[in-house]
Amino acid sequence: MTDPTGFSFEITARDGAARTGLITTPRGHIRTPAFMPVGTQATVKGMYMDQVKALGADVILGNTYHLMLRPGAERVAALGGLHQFGGWKGPILTDSGGFQVMSLAKLRKLTEQGVTFASHIDGSRFELTPERSIEIQGLLGADIQMQLDECVSLPNDRATIEKSTHLSLRWAERSKRAFETQPKGRALFGIVQGGDIPDLRVESAKALTDMDFPGYSIGGLAVGEPQAVMLAMIETVMPHLPDAKPHYLMGVGTPDDLLGAVACGVDMFDCVMPTRNGRHGQAFSRFGKINFRNARHAADPRPIDEASSCPAARDYSRAYLHHLIRTEEMLGSMLVTWINLAYYQDLMAGARAAIAAGRYADYAAEVREGWARGDIEPMAV
Amino acid sequence: MTDPTGFSFEITARDGAARTGLITTPRGHIRTPAFMPVGTQATVKGMYMDQVKALGADVILGNTYHLMLRPGAERVAALGGLHQFGGWKGPILTDSGGFQVMSLAKLRKLTEQGVTFASHIDGSRFELTPERSIEIQGLLGADIQMQLDECVSLPNDRATIEKSTHLSLRWAERSKRAFETQPKGRALFGIVQGGDIPDLRVESAKALTDMDFPGYSIGGLAVGEPQAVMLAMIETVMPHLPDAKPHYLMGVGTPDDLLGAVACGVDMFDCVMPTRNGRHGQAFSRFGKINFRNARHAADPRPIDEASSCPAARDYSRAYLHHLIRTEEMLGSMLVTWINLAYYQDLMAGARAAIAAGRYADYAAEVREGWARGDIEPMAV
């Protein structure tokens, strides 16, 4: 049911396990399956927010870890919140900071209470507890927030994964309690952990379902395991999550990962891949990956994809993109990032339309055929 | 007289030595006094060409040295020329490559014939002669081209400056001859040299005037000498250049340099300062220079200038710009570059209007008062 003053999710069509729908927040709708561009430090790297919006993105992600370090959550709140600060007026989802604390911060000390760490920038000390993570996300004004969790790397031993999964469940309860004071309309998601161990994943999903969250994230995947293991874990977890709630696969992934996960019933994604790879000249396209550093583009006057709705893919020659990337010009990073975010949005728009038309399997097969066919041979000039 | 198929210059108003006018090229008009954004490597760093155009820039500059190295003049020509390659449809002016060979290249060897050097990027060997420089600028398709000259640093001894000035005059003749085969409508400018020695400057200006160029550049200034010396050299040269032809002061300068030089009758400028300083967070504004690295902006919710026509100056808080510059986000460089190019264009638009209204001295005084008043005190939040 849609509550215009609150957070809700409506599934509008199904095709196998895949589904398309609409998340409603007070700041606007999110069409699912949705890819969320990553706005780590209150900016989607190399993009103007109006470009991001024009690509069809309904929601962006902000990183609690980075924002608590610079400029600081209290500072953002004093400046009117993250929407006002960064200029993105639609819904914003924030992570809990846990993943970056584990991957970036130094001198970490993890206890039942939370984690203390030193900033990777200047060594200053911080503490992140479930309560502080929720407080920070509240100060940022995030529309969709994440419980604090612990995310272990894979492969790992059962004892480590089990201990971490149980800790994350206790932190889910504390996060939920801390979230109760926040304004109506915001949503807190629980995060399924359990590494690559099916029974731990199921235990986590069931326990979180009992806590009754408005949405469920699947965390701790795409951390080094094969894609098959990732998809198997999603399939293991899905039957134990409420069907009527949104399912968010955190930090994933390649276009192929997205196609696979949508087929399993995932509704939301985020990943740095389109922006990070774009900065370094690797484009995602209907014809697969294209590396603009490659000399084969040097004399090619054609755009990457004249049929694209994205000006960056349509109005600039491959030779020019190659030149900009080779000379390390900012505009090269800007254009390939733009191309990639456009491709990810188009991929999700295609998925939504295909699910609504009951032909998602055909759509996924056609998209994969395009990648397999590969990029067209360069034209000589 | 305006020849729609060719190159011409019409002075539309005068105010003291200052003048405002219109250069006509087959690719469009250039309103003077004009500031030309620098597009070193076929891109104005951090800007989309449509943004540059929207700021009111009529012409951009391309660098022969950089473009001959990467992607190469023959490559650009094969791809349809620099306008097609970089997406700037209006007039383009190119320098001769001489200045960058002297400041960037390695293993230089200068002879009467020209200069051989090694690329600063990969050490590969090149030769630049007056004929090759003009050939390259022709391959790029530049609308306004520069003779090859030798530019010496200041201070320097008379013998060195004199030798270099005379060499540049011989190269002017060779450049002019080489230019004769180029399509109608393009223009070649001679370049006045002579360091900081008045009689050499006058000799150079007279000799070039005798050669009858469609425009005259003043080179070899803003290379380390005080602003007063620069302005004195311009005043020394001006009476010896044809009044009816455009006067271009190369590589200059600060907003104050521009105000001073316009008063002397300079019509065209280029400088990397708005783009280079912008990348590092230093903005030019009606209130003087603003360094966004400075902590005083950290909590300031106000835009840099709400009255600006530039969205970057109007729609983003100082706190956000500070955050982006401190975190070295691309968007910070993009926004402050945009602010600076807008400011330079606005400064020239104001100069044109003031000259037309016969109040240029008042205009310059008002602008300088604004800088002297300085930036408004930060607001506490």
pLDDT digits (tens, 9 = 90+) for A3-21: 556 899 999 999 999 999 9
Contacts of A330 in chain B (CB under 8 A): 43, 45-46, 279, 330, 333-334
The residue with greater pLDDT, A166 or B103, is A166
Kindly report, residue by residue over A266-304, the tens digit of the pLDDT: 999 999 999 999 999 999 999 999 999 999 999 999 999
In whole angstroms, give the CA distance from residue B318 to residue B315: 10
Which residues neighbour B212 within 8 Å (Cβ) at sequence distance 6 or greater? Answer: none
Position B5 scores a pLDDT of 61
Mean pLDDT of the region A181-187:
96
CA of B356, closest CA in chain A: separation in Å? 37
Statement: residue A379 has pLDDT above 60: no
Residue B172 backbone dihedrals phi, psi, to 5 degrees: -60, -45
* Mean pLDDT computed over every residue of chain B: 96
In percent, the amount of chain B with pLDDT more than 90 equals 93
In whole angstroms, give the CA distance from residue B109 to residue B376: 52
DSSP lists the bridge partners of residue B268 as B34, B248
Which residues neighbour B340 within 8 Å (Cβ) at sequence distance 6 or greater? Answer: B273, B274, B275, B277, B278, B283, B284
ipTM of the modeled complex: 0.96
**Structure confidence at residue B381 as a pLDDT band (50, 70, 90):** very low
Which positions of B are annotated as active-site residues?
A: 95, 270
Interface membership of B109 toward A (CB under 8 Å)? no
Mean pLDDT of the region B270-298:
97
B70/A323 touch (CB, cutoff 8 Å), yes or no: yes
Mean pLDDT of the region B226-241:
97
Kindly report, residue by residue over A327-369, the tens digit of the pLDDT: 999 999 999 999 999 999 999 999 999 999 999 999 999 999 9
Mean pLDDT of the region A95-111:
92
Kindly report, residue by residue over A113-172, the tens digit of the pLDDT: 999 999 999 999 999 999 999 999 999 999 999 999 999 988 999 999 999 999 999 999
Please state, as a whole number, how many other Cβ atoms lie within 10 Å of the Cβ of residue B232: 16
Contacts of A312 in chain B (CB under 8 A): none
Does the annotation list B193 as a binding residue? yes
Position A105 scores a pLDDT of 87
Position B232 scores a pLDDT of 97
The CATH number that domain B59-270 falls under is 3.20.20.105
Residue A263: burial class (beta carbons within 10 Å; 0-12, 13-18, 19+): buried
**Structure confidence at residue B374 as a pLDDT band (50, 70, 90):** confident
Does the annotation list B147 as a binding residue? no
In whole angstroms, give the CA distance from residue B28 to residue B30: 7
Contacts of B303 in chain A (CB under 8 A): none
Interface membership of A293 toward B (CB under 8 Å)? no
Statement: residue A381 has pLDDT above 60: no
Q: Establish, for the pair of chains A and B, how many residue pairs have beta carbons separated by less than 8 Å.
A: 100
Query: Searching chain B, which residue's CA lies closest to the CA of residue A70?
Result: B323
Interface membership of A333 toward B (CB under 8 Å)? yes
**Structure confidence at residue A224 as a pLDDT band (50, 70, 90):** confident
Mean pLDDT of the region B242-264:
98
DSSP assignment of A272-310: SHHHHHHHTTEEEETTEEEETTSGGGTT--SBS-TT-SS
Which residues neighbour B369 within 8 Å (Cβ) at sequence distance 6 or greater? Answer: none
Most B CBs within 10 Å, among A296, A310, A330, A335, to test the B interface: A330
Per the annotation, binding residues of A for substrate are 95-99, 149, 193, 220
Q: Which residues of A86-112 are buried (b: 16+ CB within 10 A; e: fewer)?
A: bbbebbbbbbbbbbbbbebbeeeeeee
Contacts of A119 in chain B (CB under 8 A): none
- Give the ranges where chain B is alpha helix by DSSP (H): 49-54, 64-69, 73-78, 82-86, 98-103, 130-140, 158-179, 198-211, 227-237, 255-263, 273-279, 311-314, 318-326, 330-356, 360-373
Q: Are strands B28-32 and B8-15 parallel, antiparallel or unpaired?
A: unpaired
Interface membership of A123 toward B (CB under 8 Å)? no
Most A CBs within 10 Å, among B38, B40, B43, to test the A interface: B43
**Structure confidence at residue B224 as a pLDDT band (50, 70, 90):** confident
Q: For the sheet containing B268-270, what is the strand order? A: B34-36, B268-270, B247-249, B215-218, B187-192, B144-146, B92-94, B60-62
Interface membership of A319 toward B (CB under 8 Å)? yes
B334/A333 touch (CB, cutoff 8 Å), yes or no: no
Interface membership of A329 toward B (CB under 8 Å)? yes
Position B10 scores a pLDDT of 98
Q: Which residues of B251-278 are buried (b: 16+ CB within 10 A; e: fewer)?
A: bbbbbebbbbbbbbbbbbbbbbbbbebb
Does the annotation list B117 as a binding residue? no
Mean pLDDT of the region B189-218:
98
**Structure confidence at residue B173 as a pLDDT band (50, 70, 90):** very high
DSSP assignment of B233-302: HHHHHGGGS-TTS-EEETT---HHHHHHHHHTT--EEE-SHHHHHHHTTEEEETTEEEETTSGGGTT--S
Decide: helix, strand or coil at residue B1.
Answer: coil
B330/A71 touch (CB, cutoff 8 Å), yes or no: no
Does the annotation list B149 as a binding residue? yes
Contacts of B334 in chain A (CB under 8 A): 46, 48, 330, 334
Interface membership of B88 toward A (CB under 8 Å)? no
Chain B 141-170, CB below 8 Å of chain A: which residues? none
Statement: residue A1 has pLDDT above 70: no
B79/A315 touch (CB, cutoff 8 Å), yes or no: no
Statement: residue B330 has pLDDT above 50: yes
Nearest residue, CB atoms, A299 vs list B43, B75, B315: B75
A257 is catalytic: no
Does the annotation list B98 as a binding residue? yes
Q: Are strands A115-118 and A125-128 parallel, antiparallel or unpaired?
A: antiparallel
Position A2 scores a pLDDT of 46
The domain limits of chain A are 59-270, 278-373
Position B6 scores a pLDDT of 87
Mean pLDDT of the region B56-68:
98
Does the annotation list B260 as a binding residue? no
Question: Considering all CA atoms of chain A, what is the largest pairwise distance in Å, rounded to the nearest integer?
Answer: 65
Q: What is the dihedral of CA B307, B309, B310, B315, to 10 degrees?
A: 50
Spatial contact of B10 and B169, defined as CB atoms under 8 Å apart? no
Position B375 scores a pLDDT of 82
CA of A62, closest CA in chain B: separation in Å? 14
Kindly report, residue by residue over B336-345, the tens digit of the pLDDT: 999 999 999 9
Does the annotation list B220 as a binding residue? yes
Mean pLDDT of the region B72-86:
98
CA of B286, closest CA in chain A: separation in Å? 24
Nearest residue, CB atoms, B43 vs list A45, A317, A329: A329
Statement: residue B379 has pLDDT above 80: no
Position A377 scores a pLDDT of 59
A80/B301 touch (CB, cutoff 8 Å), yes or no: yes
Position B2 scores a pLDDT of 46
CA distances from A358 to A15, A185, B166 (A): 5, 32, 79
Mean pLDDT of the region B97-107:
91
Kindly report, residue by residue over A23-48, the tens digit of the pLDDT: 999 999 999 999 999 999 999 999 99
